[in-house]
């Protein structure tokens, strides 16, 4: 019988997580590290990345280090990939989560704001795929994980540019999975909905919005970074060995329904 527990074990694996200082990136690094992988925690916030690395190392399962990078800078991402190869000898897992959202109507967007969002979200993913795809192609294995969003498939006013960038990531994932599959490399995306992170902190501060967004999910609550990090660790593991080109929804059922689940209710059946 297949040893299913071993499929989730990342012992002996190596990983790079971009965005590891906070939120979903931090949770992804922690989840992957807690399953046994060596992790390089990369972020523009070096102190935050170092703190994450220390927490992972303290588990005693694998070592973790930190590196400062700008996820919107293609040269920085390439330097990170080469550093990982030199330090780790191989790259089994690469995860990138950083994103920027400027909440404005499209007619009110400036070109500079558009470029800021697209350079980090969309172009950042493009550079991430190239820099980590090349060494994985040569070694003949690996799992690449990007971060999309349920906004790739459902929208609200003021999120058009952000949503376009996340939809673009989902399409890049499909294309890159097709290109990398013959080389034994899997490419996927995690696709969260409303998660309690720095990016969503301004929304959480408004009780009415916090409650409304929670009500859009079938679970009637916001998600935690750890719930998305767990999904990233799954996609990184051999338990997901036949999954590629996928955008794994971690959205509490938001995209499964048309609006808040406030329709007919039923009485629990009696015993």
- In this predicted structure, what is the pLDDT of residue 260? 75
The answer as to whether 11 is a domain residue is yes
Catalytic residue, from 162, 183, 213, 242: name it: 162
Task: Summarize pLDDT for 76-135 with one digit per residue, the tens.
Answer: 999 999 999 999 999 999 999 999 999 999 999 999 999 999 999 999 999 999 999 999
- In this predicted structure, what is the pLDDT of residue 266? 53
CATH value at residue 67: 3.40.50.720
Residue 267 reports pLDDT greater than 60: no
Q: How many domains does the chain have?
A: 1
- In this predicted structure, what is the pLDDT of residue 211? 87
Question: In whole numbers, what is the pLDDT of the chain averaged over residues?
Answer: 93
Q: What is the distance between the alpha carbons of residues 109 and 179, in angstroms, rounded to a whole number?
A: 34
- In this predicted structure, what is the pLDDT of residue 209? 82
Beta bridge partners of 250: 192
String of DSSP letters for 78-103: HHHHHHHHHHHSS-SEEEE-------
162 is annotated as an active-site residue = yes
Alpha helix segments (H runs only) across 35-73:
46-58
Q: Are the beta carbons of 18 and 25 closer than 8 angstroms?
A: yes
Measuring CA to CA, which residue among 259, 252, 197 is closest to residue 221?
252
- In this predicted structure, what is the pLDDT of residue 129? 98
Q: What is the distance between the alpha carbons of residues 173 and 248, in angstroms, rounded to a whole number?
A: 11
> Taking the model in full, what pTM does it have?
0.93
Assign 212 a pLDDT band (cuts: 50, 70, 90): confident
The answer as to whether 72 is a domain residue is yes
Domain containing residue 91: 4-194+226-249
The CA radius of gyration of the chain, in Å to the nearest whole number, is 19
The answer as to whether 269 is a domain residue is no
The answer as to whether 132 is a domain residue is yes
The answer as to whether 41 is a domain residue is yes
List Cα–Cα distances, 101 to 10, 74, 159, 184, 201, in angstroms: 33, 20, 8, 34, 12
The answer as to whether 161 is a domain residue is yes
The answer as to whether 68 is a domain residue is yes
């Amino acid at each position: 019988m297949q040893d299913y527990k071993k499929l989730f074990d990342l012992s002996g694996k190596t990983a790079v997580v971009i965005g590891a200082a906070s939120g979903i990136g931090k949770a992804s690094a922690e989840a992957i590290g807690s399953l046994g992988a060596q992790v390089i925690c990369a972020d523009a916030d070096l102190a935050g990345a170092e703190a994450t690395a220390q927490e992972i190392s303290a588990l005693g399962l694998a070592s973790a280090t930190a590196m400062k990078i700008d996820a919107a800078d293609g040269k920085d991402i390439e330097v990170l990939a080469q550093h990982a190869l030199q330090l780790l000898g191989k790259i089994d897992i690469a995860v990138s989560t950083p994103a920027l959202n400027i909440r404005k109507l499209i007619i009110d967007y400036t070109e500079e704001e558009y470029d800021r969002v697209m350079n980090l979200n969309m172009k950042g993913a493009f550079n991430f795929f190239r820099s980590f795809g090349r060494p994985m192609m040569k070694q003949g294995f690996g799992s690449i994980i990007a971060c999309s969003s349920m906004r790739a498939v459902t929208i609200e006013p003021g999120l058009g540019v952000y949503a376009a960038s996340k939809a673009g990531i989902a399409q890049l994932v499909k294309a890159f999975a097709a290109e990398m599959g013959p080389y034994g490399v899997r490419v996927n995306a995690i696709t969260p909905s409303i998660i309690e992170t720095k990016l969503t902190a301004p929304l959480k501060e408004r009780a009415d919005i916090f409650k409304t967004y929670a009500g859009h999910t079938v679970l009637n609550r916001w998600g935690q970074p750890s719930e998305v990090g767990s999904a990233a660790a799954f996609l990184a593991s051999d338990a997901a060995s036949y999954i590629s080109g996928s955008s794994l929804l971690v959205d509490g059922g938001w995209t499964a329904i048309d609006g808040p689940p406030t329709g007919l209710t039923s009485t629990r059946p009696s015993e």
